[in-house]
Structure 1
Amino acid sequence: MKERRRQSTGRYAGKSATERHAERRQRFLDAALQLFGAAPGYRATTVAALCEAAGLSTRQFYEEFRTLEDVLAALHLQVNDWAEAAVLEALGRTEGRPLADRYGFVFRAYAASIAVDPRRIRMTFTEIVGVSPRMDEQRLARRARWIDLMCAEAAAAALRGEAADRDYRIAAAAFIGSVNGLLHDWAAGWVDATLDEVVEELVRLLLALLRPAD
């Protein structure tokens, strides 16, 4: 395994070493989104191909990453961070709205972040699966964050009297699995529906889980 090279710490072209480092790293991630998320896919991409797509050298690659799997891990986290930020922003903007309106808005924000770009869906639900125990652990850890968020929202809804007061962890895990599976199948063309129809169905499922029995 190659060791990462020591990076320069001086300024160049008006930019600090930290700024240059961040820009190079993002160029590699942008190139990886295309190669991993579209074609040829993570397993068929080489370091040389990624460097060519990013317009950077292999020396610069090893200054930022150790392996291609490190790039895959970073890109998977970035795509999930984008989606999480969109959801949190939507939750903040819809505080106080009726439950159905609130979660319709939230799911549309999530869909706008993930489903608007097929490459992001592939990175979230396909390319990371089965790569290594490390990647499986990261994928499940990110899923656990979504489950925690849903449980927190359910608990808050229960306090407002909008949801049954119970433990939602199993229901949240089942629901997140449904979201992942449905969006994957929709992106693959296996579900004959518009994205709005998919979102509306997910909102109906969520409300059925949350609403009190009466």
Structure 2
Amino acid sequence: MTGRLRAPTGRYGGRSAEERQAERRARFLAAALRLFGETPGYRGTTVAALSEAAGLSTRQFYEEFRTLEDVLAVLHLQVNDWAEEAVVAAFAAAEGLPLAERVTAIFRAYAGDVTADPRRIRITFVEIVGVSPRLEEQRLERRARWVELICAEATAAADRGEAVPRDYRLAATAFIGSVNGLLHDWSAGRVAATLDEVVDELVRQLLGILRPSGWEPGRP
């Protein structure tokens, strides 16, 4: 997603071209998080408005990106990467804990990250939807990564005798839909509950999938 124009090369002000480019890119993305994630939103933002919010010129914009859609695509991936990093760290910290405690720690990490900034939720669950076939494919691909993560953890739990052995792909896909919908509604003020209560409900749902009624740990 390189820009239409060629960025200047060489050192300037003691910084390399790569360092200046990284700083400009970060400023555009920070401004996009504000404008896309608040008002006026992605569809109401222009290149000129984004450049002004970043304190940069439109020429500098086109040195970094081709279109505003490219900015949204990068920002969507960045928001998902932040959440994924939080979850991976929680996985490592919760290693060896009983299943219920491990699942709770992981979902607290995920929910804590995505709800720490309401703009991230809007980028992930609202602004990217319906923009273009390319971004729709990206959105579905990232959702598939979350499904794969849940399937891998569920299968590992089943191998340890902590969960029922089964193909978890369909259940994980449905569960991810519940997670996204509930967190979005909670962030929009449509759910009268604390974040801890939301996480507890999601944990109960996932444990119900992993350990259906009548099944006991250690049983095939």
> Shorter chain as normaliser: what TM range?
over 0.9
Which residue in 1 is equivalent to 2:27? 27
Per-residue CA distance 1:52-105 (angstroms, 9 max, x = gap): 000000010000000000000000000000000000010011100011111111
Pairing 1:67-86 to 2, within 5 Å after superposition: 67-86=67-86
SS of aligned partner of 1:5: coil
| Matched length | 212
Alignment partner, residue 140 of structure 1: 140
State the Cα distance separating 1:8 from its structure 2 match: 2.2
Aligned equivalents of 1:122, 1:187: Cα separation in 2: 9
| Corresponding residue for residue 98 of structure 1 | 98
* Identical residues among aligned pairs (%): 73
Q: Residues of 1 paired with 2:112 and 2:18: CA distance?
A: 31
**1:67 is aligned with what amino acid?**
T
Aligned with 1:162: secondary structure? coil
Mapping 1:1-150, distance limit 5 Å: 4-150=4-150
CA distance in 2 between partners of 1:147 and 1:184 (Å):
18
Report the Cα offset of residue 18 of structure 1. Answer: 1.1
- What corresponds to 2:158 in structure 1? 158
Q: Secondary structure of the residue that 1:126 maps to in structure 2?
A: helix
Q: 5+ unaligned residues in a row in structure 2: which ranges?
A: none
Q: How far, CA to CA, are the matches of 2:54 and 2:162 in structure 1?
A: 49
Q: Following TM superposition, by how much is the alpha carbon of 1:11 offset from its aligned partner in structure 2, in angstroms?
A: 1.3
Q: In the aligned structure 2, how far is the partner of 1:194 from the partner of 1:14?
A: 49
SS at match of 2:151: helix
2:178 maps to 178
Cα distance in 2, alignment partners of residues 87 and 108 from structure 1: 9
Over aligned residue pairs, what C-alpha RMSD do you find?
A: 0.9
Distance 1:104 1:117 in 2: 21
TM-score of the pair, normalised by structure 2: 0.94
Distance 1:16 1:203 in 2: 48
Inter-partner Cα distance in structure 1 for 2:11 and 2:151: 47
How far apart, CA to CA, are the structure 1 residues paired with 2:86 and 2:11? Answer: 34
Look up the SS of the partner of 1:69 in the other structure: helix
Q: Which runs of 5+ in 1 are unaligned?
A: none
Q: What is the identity, as a one-letter code, of the residue corresponding to 2:109?
A: A
